[in-house]
Structure 1
Amino acid sequence: MTEDGEHPPDGRLIGGRYRLTGRLGSGPAGTVWHARDERDDVRVAVKEPLLPGDPAEDEESRRVAHRLYREARTATRVRHPSAVTVHDVVTEDEVPWIVMELVEGESLRTALRRGPLPPAEAARVGLAVLGALRAAHAVGIVHRDVKPANVLLEDGTGRVVLTDFGIGDGHPDDAPAGFVAPERAAGPGAGPASDLWSLGALLRAALGDADPGPLGPLADRLQADEPGARPGAEEAEAALRAYLGLTPVPEQAERSERSEQPDQLGKSGRPEKSERPGESGRSEKPEQPGKSERSAESEPSAGGGPDSPTGSPATAPAPPADPRRRTPFAALGLLLAKKPGAE
């Protein structure tokens, strides 16, 4: 690599497969490259993390490299249309290079420079980000850095894509003011509730100074000082879906129906046996819904996403593309605000 961070013009081959073709962005945490997967002939984004030193000689750098590798491998398990896809993690000279989907579009931070979003669009973005967070939490990943710079808006489809799933320390000092939950600012503790606090901050930022209407109370509750006082992900999702006029996901509808019919439960907590003539009392086993997962070998810049994983709803319908959004962006191009070696 040259002093300005550029690799030789002919392009370095990473992992015997990914040919670097240009730099997309760089920052304190490393560099994100545009690359071509020479095996599958698709375009991808590749993150080269910046470590404190040489892992071959420095124990701290080796520890950070190992942790980044583990976290990136875990991130490959996150499946949601609004979660950036991590395709692969390859090691070169003991440094983990993270291969991910390339998203063409702009960040929410860039979009907000033109002004706040209409409330319905803010709710749509919030619902999509929440779905991605739920998918990450389901595999044990806490994002730790939910902010407008890490939310991408795809050109042509309007798809909302959350990037950077725990790949780095997410040190509070490196996050912009106003997006760090109180428990994280006071110490290293971070859990799913911390991500929900940041989601509330994201909604506030998207709405700007406009009247938030029914979204205001939700944002206030999400940003409660005490993690236990915040609504859970499921409750927040139900509120956003209701605001957008979307039907509840099946499991929410079932729970709501059960809560409205307590008189049908016996003392054992099971349904009372029917006394109507002609009923056998036999129950049929409900059909299990099918599951759909996105292949890690799918086209990385495709506009559509897979079905949501169980418990993670699909995103709200995308509005027509904003003709002002024409700037190419790479997924995780803005991950670089986090320093991997920071504790």
Structure 2
Amino acid sequence: MTTTLTQTSADATAAFADRMMAATLGWMDVMAIHLGSQLGWYAALEERSGSTAEELATRTRTDPRYAREWLEQQAAGGILVVEDERADAASRRFSLAPGVGEVLLDRTSLSYLEPLARMAAAAAEQLPALLHAYREGGGVSWEQLGIHAREAQADMNRPWFEQLPRVFGGVERIHTVLRRPGARIADIGAGAGWSAISLAQSYPQLQVVGFDIDEASVEAARVNAAEAGVSDRVVFLLADAALLAEHGPFDGVFAFECLHDMPHPVEVLAAAKAAVAEGGVVVVMDEAAADRFAPDASDLERLLYGFSLFVCLPDGMSHRPSAATGTVMRPDTLREYARAAGWTDIDILVPEFGLWRFYEIV
């Protein structure tokens, strides 16, 4: 019996040691991807396949010695392929491995995941502040997380937001409201504006008012709307969503991937109730968290907890008082918020849409 227990303990130790090694390698890959993205190396390799370190460095105005080390690290991990591994270091030519370009460079693809590296780098930069918040309370705001976090979230959400018209086209109640002549909706937590822009482009008579409290995001959204040619029907306000009713009424109020970040979700849902017109809709798109907590969870659940630890919960707690929801907002939590705001219940419109789920507040 003792021998069996000892073997079991040794196996468990070895397994977790392997996991730690794999996680460390994964972190190194993610940080190296961030380096390559920020330095323009992936884009340069897609533009001209089969580059040496010297050629890559020249085209991107970077240091050739660092370029060589990065190229070799990427090839060692299978992210790049090398034409002749036996050639001397200066002569080796590197190219993107199949599939890499779409994931790291194609901003229109639903497989575009380069922003994950940017988000991880932004969180890593704030680790001292995160440690302080974990010890003393308080938080780390989106403003503190900075441009990488802000733009990473916008860029990763954009291709999914461009699918919103297709999703709502399959939900007759929502589709009917959006195509109503002269319909006016609110997009709260609008960020860089891609959700509002996508809906306006697909519903030519729709007017959208976007709300956000992050000034840099509002400025970016206004530029994006102008470039998309919809700024005559889409406006963005630097305003708290809790003040929504002051700008209503609206035929629809939408909260895309933001409610769990808000320090006062009940107040926001109450404002939506006050602002929505008779026969209108209130729709929340938030993370597709499992119905209840369970250990040994799915990869999605683990990803949501990771975001919560480093981004969403610290941001929510950077404002006091705060509901401190975190990324893992389960359906029962949203139902509790909705009822506290004066609503009756929630209906699940679309159970899973990438990382997200659509609810109607009723």
Structure (1 or 2) with the greater helix fraction: 2
Greater C-alpha radius of gyration? 2
TM-score, length basis structure 2: 0.28
| Greater RCO (CA < 8 Å, at least 6 residues apart) | 1
TM-score, length basis structure 1: 0.29
